[in-house]
Amino acid sequence: MNRRQLGTAPFDVSAIGLGCMGMSEFYGPTNDDESLEVLHAAADLGIDFFDTSDMYGSGHNEKLLAKFTSGSDLPVRIATKFGIVRQQSGGYARGLNNSKGYMKKACEASLRRLKRDVIDLYYVHRIDPQAPIEETTGALAELVEEGKILSFGYSEISSENLERACAVHPVAAVQSEYSLWTRDAEKSVLPCCEKHNVAFVAYSPLGRGMLTGAYKTPGELHQEDARHNLPRFHPENFSENVNLVSVVADISNRLDLKPAQVALAWLMSQKANIIPIPGTRHIQYLTENAEAASVKLDQQILDELDRAIPPGAARGERYTEEGFKGVQM
């Protein structure tokens, strides 16, 4: 497994990480035993960068990672997040809280669930407009000084706010959605990350599964799958988006690769500081994704993909109005 530096953090990580959200909710029924098998298989493949959040399964996901790492000397790096406050009754509705007091409590709670003394990378999950970015960054810097976290970052932050944050303290990473069909970060956030030596961690790098070619109709998604609520997966947009990304499957057939490997290789070719974190609950797909770290696409193929799926080509918004809370790009 190739490796990439995580910005200004005092460590590097596997060039491809593992997004763990789906092991707790959002993509249909989950099974902890199967998820633990996938986590251990990831470590065997050289993946040591695992992404979670305190809101995934309302703490369940962090506890699952604790089961994976407890009683082991596995050299893994854990990234978790705070800032989204879910309703006690469950559901998708959420509030935002980036205040110093809430941050401190959230960090301590994550440390307990993870059964760790320090968090490797601590993200602000969404940006609270009521909290000045300088104050939030200063509070995160205090957590570094206290030894609670090794580094910190922001999820879905604007380039303007990233500039302001970096003026207070080095930011290790920015996490945002980025893939062939979600290219908003290319406008200003990716250049800002390069300028300040900030790693860019790409979540949903496979277009929430659409770029894998696995789905042709919405009916193929489990009835409890949260993607049914996302505009790009609504029936009126689904077929057009399937047609849009069909070029990925065409190219993968020509190159004797999997569509996911083509999509991930395209992403990693864009900038050396990009670290994708595809999520999966299946060892087969995990293995295919890990192998993408060594796939190199020639410029002709990269140009073909750029022409076929230019920025803004996907039909429909990537989130609902509720999902866009705290998203700045």
Which residue numbers are catalytic? 56
- Consecutive H or E run containing 14: strand 12-14
DSSP label of 179: B
Measured CA to CA, the distance from residue 126 to residue 136 in angstroms comes to 12
Phi-psi region of 225 (alpha: psi -120 to 50; beta: other; left: phi over 0): beta
Bridge partners, 149 (sequence order): 119
Q: Using alpha carbons only, how large is the chain's radius of gyration in Å?
A: 19
Bridge partners, 122 (sequence order): 80, 152
Cα 286 to its chain centre, rounded Å, is 15
- Consecutive H or E run containing 270: helix 259-270
Measured CA to CA, the distance from residue 264 to residue 295 in angstroms comes to 9
Residue 77: φ, ψ to 5°? -115, 130
